[in-house]
Amino acid sequence: MSQTISAAKINLIDLREKFGLERVNDSDFFQEWQENLPNLSAEAQQLMDEVKADYLHLFEYPLLESVVKLVVLSPLLKQAGFYRPPFYIIGEKEVKVLSQDEEVMIQGRLDLLIFTPPFWVLVIEAKKAQYSLDVGIPQALTYMLAHPHPEKPLFGLVTNGTDFIFLKLTQQGTPKYAESDVFSMRRRENELYTVLRILKRLAEIVTSQN
């Protein structure tokens, strides 16, 4: 009988030992966040400026995950086109994944899942504003390992509202993942522009494949 562990308690070493997950540092592995990013309209840029201003104002008080989703993620996903066909969004999806040796079952609830039936497109993990992204990355990767179609690459986004990082996972052969740069609203330039451009690019890729 397998041991059950909460996904919230998993770290990257656990994922390497239990699932054989390897990190890839070759930039060619994860080109989707770097190449052919669409331009933003003036209206979209203005909206991202407003999102940044709203968040930095509200950040003066401790922000829970629910507020991060409402203030930051909701307008990003809407502008990226994930509220329209062929995409659907569900929240608090229960996920279970069994280790390679079948001795450990990891379970938890991912925050947001964007999918085009029956394929998962994007796993989103939102944390409290006070949390480091390092807390959310192994949790997001755990959920990504539960992808029901491992022959297809899967993307992830981890955010605490202030900072953002994208993930890519492939499971053909040895499971491998890579990270994007970290984008932050603490920088002078509004890096929400780039976050939105990457989201729009992922939407374009999936739509063109359907």
| pLDDT digits 0-9 by tens, 124-140 | 988 877 788 888 999 99
pLDDT per position as a tens digit, 57-88: 888 777 777 888 888 999 999 999 999 999 99
Give yes or no for residue 2 having a pLDDT over 70: no
Q: What is the per-residue pLDDT across 29-51, written as a single tens digit (0 to 9) for each?
A: 999 999 999 999 999 999 999 99
More reliable by pLDDT, 39 or 105: 39
**The whole model's pTM is what?**
0.93
Q: What proportion of the chain, given as a percentage, has pLDDT over 90?
A: 57
Q: Assign 133 to helix, strand or coil.
A: helix
Mean pLDDT of 140-155: 91
β-sheet bridge partners, residue 96: 107
Query: How far apart are the C-alpha atoms of 97 and 171, rounded to whole Å?
Result: 13
Q: What residue segments make up the domains of the chain, in order of their start?
A: 3-209
> Could you give the percent of the chain with pLDDT greater than 70?
98
Q: How far apart are CA 192 and CA 185, in angstroms?
A: 7
Q: Give how far Cα 108 sits from Cα of 2, 27, 200, Å.
A: 16, 30, 28
Q: Phi first, then psi: what are they for 86, rounded to 5°? A: -95, 20
Mean pLDDT across the chain, nearest whole number? 90
Q: How many CB atoms lie within 10 A of CB 151?
A: 8
CATH of 3-209, one of 3.90.1570.30, 3.50.50.60, 3.90.1580.10, 3.30.365.10: 3.90.1570.30
Burial of 82: CB neighbours in 10 Å, binned 0-12, 13-18, 19+: buried
pLDDT of 1 reads 53
Q: How does pLDDT run across 24-34, given as a tens digit for each residue?
A: 999 899 999 99
